[in-house]
Chains A and B, each alone.
Chain A
Amino acid sequence: MEPLKTPLVPFGDSHEFHDIFASLYPRLVSYARRYGATYPEDIAQEAFVILMQRDSPVDHPTAYLYGTVRTLSLTERRPLKNQSISLEAVVEPGKGPDADDDLLSQEVRERMKALSPTFRETLWLFVVEDLSIRQISEILDIPEATVKTRIHRAKAHLRNQLNSSGGLHVLA
């Protein structure tokens, strides 16, 4: 098939678009799976289409993609309109976290699970997805200060956890 030549916002030329898609798509699928989406691939693809469909460019395309995936996943999980789902129900239980956690050790998984869903979500985006605080604030639609607070609280929880279990060997 002949590759597309027309540049498309915000991906630039075809080659650049393929590289970015190849790097972000698996991450977005994994992120949708974390929210327990039934069809995480469809959601990740839809997020890309929505981004490319836009006329005006977005300031932070990565954050936009993650935010779209999050919204679509939560919407897919919502059987009735206006029915809210708790983060605990969204992130765990479900088949979602299993796939992501393949990349992490059992010990890390246990530590992440010990955190509250709110802190876990922020910490995951910051540490595992390697996103900035600014991007996380856009994805979760909360102020940057709140993101920082959550990260620092998660850090304190992790420290307490390590101190109580005497697991400082992880640092070593």
Chain B
Amino acid sequence: MSWHDPARSSEPESETALRNELRGLLGIPAQPLNYFENDPSPELILLADDLRREAQRRKHTARRQSSWLLLAAALPFTLALAGVGVWGIAQKHKADRLTAAVVHQEAEIQQLAAAQQHQVPQSPAADAQQLRVQGPQPKGQQPRALLMGQASPKGRPKELVIPVQRSPDFNPNNNESVKTH
């Protein structure tokens, strides 16, 4: 890019006329003042080159500085993000362990439940077998518990029951009640 100043080159004529008019009012010649030499002096050339080098040096320094600043500014955020990430991963592992434990427990419970269900249908068969082992009671013989006057399983009041030999002419309606004291 060369030294091009659109604001100066595209100046409207009215502005130029106004400038000339003002120059006339002030008594300044119409030509621009000769502020500068036609050819740059060696001192000015040296100075210009020095300034150019200084600008380049500053440009590089500023770039490096800005990248360091960016890095320094981003470091806390990066650390915070990394910390949150590590914490999140730890939490995920913990949750996975807990889930596995819960699944394991559920499986054990289901196994126990299945075992229980398997045992429940065997009970009536076992009772029947037990009855078979005990054998039928002899006719006219009551269980010992009833003879000893123990309470019946249903909680009825105690009664003394005397077994009697039924006569051939036994009539169930012809009986006598005996009170005990």
Contacts and interface: CB of A to CB of B under 8 A. Distances in A.
B24 A132 contact: no
B71 interface: no
Contacts, number: 145
A14 B27 CA distance: 38
A22 B36 contact: yes
Q: Which of A10, A14, A21, A162 has the most chain B CB atoms inside 10 A of its CB?
A: A21
Given A11-B3, A128-B28, A123 B22 contact: yes
Given A4-B49, A17-B52, A128-B33, A22 B6 contact: no
Query: Is chain B's binding surface mostly helix, strand, loop or mixed?
Result: helix
B12 to A, nearest CB: 9
A141 interface: no
A12 B49 contact: no
Interface of A: 1, 3-4, 8-12, 14, 16-27, 30, 45, 48-49, 51-53, 55, 57, 59-63, 103-105, 107-108, 111-112, 123, 126-128, 130-135, 138, 151, 154-155, 158-159, 162, 170-171
Interface of B: 1-8, 11, 15, 18-19, 21-28, 32-33, 35-37, 39-41, 44-49, 51-56, 58-59, 62
